[in-house]
Structures are given as structure tokens and as C-alpha cells.
Amino acid sequence: MPTRGQRRAAGGHPNHDRHAPNDTRFPVVTGEQPKCRSIYVYVLFRREVRPMTQSPGHVHEAGLSPALTPAQAFDALYAFCAPALVRQAYLLTGRRELAQEAVERAFQLAWQNWPQVARDRDPAGWVRAMVHECALSPWHRFRLRYRHPEPPPADAADRALLEALLKLPPTYRRTLLLYDGIGLDLPETAAETEASTPAAAGRLTRARRLVAGQVPELADPAALHRRLAELASTERLRAAQPPTVRTYAERRTRFWTRSALAFTATIVVATTLTLRTAPTHYEAPIGPAQAISGVPAEVGMGPLSAGERALQAKLRKSVQNGPERVVPLAR
């Protein structure tokens, strides 16, 4: 099955005809269709509010300078996408703090992989996919701060819709948001959720049926799209400033780089110490001890006899070298 990047490279694009041209509630995919191959050209056109159907060669003809630094291009992409991505993450999780955290984490990954993201044909789609994956990560359930639900929306209709969304499986929730909330077409939705087109269609149909069972007035897809946009817009959700995200991403990169170097150094030192102290030849193990029979028991020395005491006294009275030696007789 092709991956999300392979399907995107094959030419899948969002269907923007289902939204009004001035719809800013989901600005990640609304507006003109980006066909530029570089984030720098993409940002330049967005700043000048020019049609996105021009090729990168028109930048010089229009008198625009493509000399944007990576930080400027990243900040422009962040300012353009972050507000909508926070609202999308909120619809996926129902948690305001987690939505902001997912967006910041996704943009940190984008800054760490900026050369790849900048050359992507859809940088906003790259970041959006990372936001959704971070928001729906199953590891959040083990965090104490996310084990208890947040206060629901004040409006009863918004509360019912959010409860219906959160009861859906994560894959159904994401498919519904991409197709009915953001406005992607079915192949693009399937590619972003890493599923086949029939599987994405089945998830979408079942998700719509489950939501309609909880909120019957949302059986119409148009009404569902409108209510999703309203629910996302009613919450006051904010994201951190771009310099803060870039700084934290750089600190995180330095931390993991230093950790990797320290871990490698530890492995090298441990390996060297092992090589220096390890035995270089085989030593046979010592066998277990066994009792030996037939050996007489040791006895202690008894008192000296009269003759031994006399000999001892004679030796002590002799010269230092002992008594004169017996000289052999000459033949």
C-alpha cells in the first residue's frame, strides 16, 4: 500500500470547491490550491495574496525576491497553519492543552526536518499529518494529566457533538475530520490516514452513521461540516509564538545529540574496559574438594626424653658452628 508521501507525490490534492474562497475557519486547506514545489515560493505568494496556480518561475517575473531565510519561511508557515491546526487537534482530542501541545510538537519536528519539509509539495499537509498523529497518540492515556476529562463546551449542542466525536474510534474521527471538516477528497483522505480508498470510504460512512445516531440533525454532511467549523471556532485556542517553537526544537535537538554522544562514549568506555580486563585464555575450573583416606592423623610433639635433653644441652654449650666434625681417616 502506498504511503502518505507516495500518494501525495502521485498528485492527490484537496478538493477546495466544497468551501467558500474566503473561508478562514480551516485555512490549512482552504483558499487557492498550492501547486508550488517550494515552501519559499509558497510563502511569497501567500504574502502577496497572488494566485497559487503560478509556477515558481513567475516569482522573478513578478519582481518578488525568493531570498527568504529558513526561519522566516517557517514562521510564515506557522502563522498561516497553527491557528487552524489547534482547532483541528481540539476536535480530535477534546482537550485544549493537548491540542496546543500536539501543534507545537508537530512544528518542532518540522523545524528539525526543515529541508525535507521545505521541499515538500504540500508543507501544510506534512505538518497537519504530524499534528493529527501527535494528537491521537495512544501514549497520552498513560499520562496522569490526561486521565481526567476537561470541562466540556458551554453550549449543549457543541457538547453533544464533541461527545459524539470522542466516542468514535480514532481512525474514524480523523477520517471524518479530514473529509467533512477540512474538505479533503476521498483519495487524499485515504492517503493521509494510510488506508486504501475503500477502507477510508467505509470509515467515513460508519463515522457519519454513528454521529447521526448521537446527533440526528447532523445526518446531512453539509450540516455536519458547518457544525464542525462552528465547534472549532467557538473555543479560544492559542498556539505558542514561532520563535519559541524553533528555540525549543533546537534545544531538543541539542539535548538528544548530546545524549547520543554520551551514550556512545559510555559504550566505547565499557567495551574498552571489558577488553582490558577480560581473560585472554581458557582456564580450567578447579574441581570440587574430596576427602582422602589412609593418611595417618597428625600428632603433636611430646616432652623430650632424658637423652634428648642431654643432647640439647650439649649442643647449646658447643661453639657456634656446632661440635667438631669427624675427620675421615687417611688411607
Contact 75, 54 (CB under 8 A): no
Cα–Cα distances in angstroms (integers) from residue 287 to residues 284, 290, 292, in the given order: 9, 9, 14
Closest CA to 158 of 89, 204, 84, 218: 218
Distance CA 126, CA 107 (A): 10
Contact 137, 165 (CB under 8 A): no
pLDDT category of residue 170 using cuts at 50, 70 and 90: very high
Contact 188, 182 (CB under 8 A): no
Question: Which of 140-172 are b and which e, b meaning 16 or more Cβ less than 10 Å from the residue's Cβ?
Answer: beeeeebeeeeeebeeeebebbbebbbebebbb
222: Cβ–Cβ under 8 A, 6 or more apart, which residues? none
Distance CA 122, CA 272 (A): 48
Residue range 140-169, pLDDT digits in tens: 887 877 777 777 787 888 888 988 999 999
In the block, cell 494510510 appears at 194
Contact 28, 182 (CB under 8 A): yes
Residue range 35-84, pLDDT digits in tens: 333 343 333 333 333 332 333 443 333 333 456 788 888 888 988 888 88
pLDDT, greater one: 283 or 13: 283
The residue type at 68: L
Contact 104, 242 (CB under 8 A): no
Distance CA 190, CA 175 (A): 8
Q: Tell me the average pLDDT of the chain.
A: 76
pLDDT category of residue 241 using cuts at 50, 70 and 90: confident
| Full DSSP string of 177-240 | IIIIII---HHHHHHHTT--HHHHHHHHHHHHHHHHHHSGGG-SHHHHHHHHHHHHHHS-----
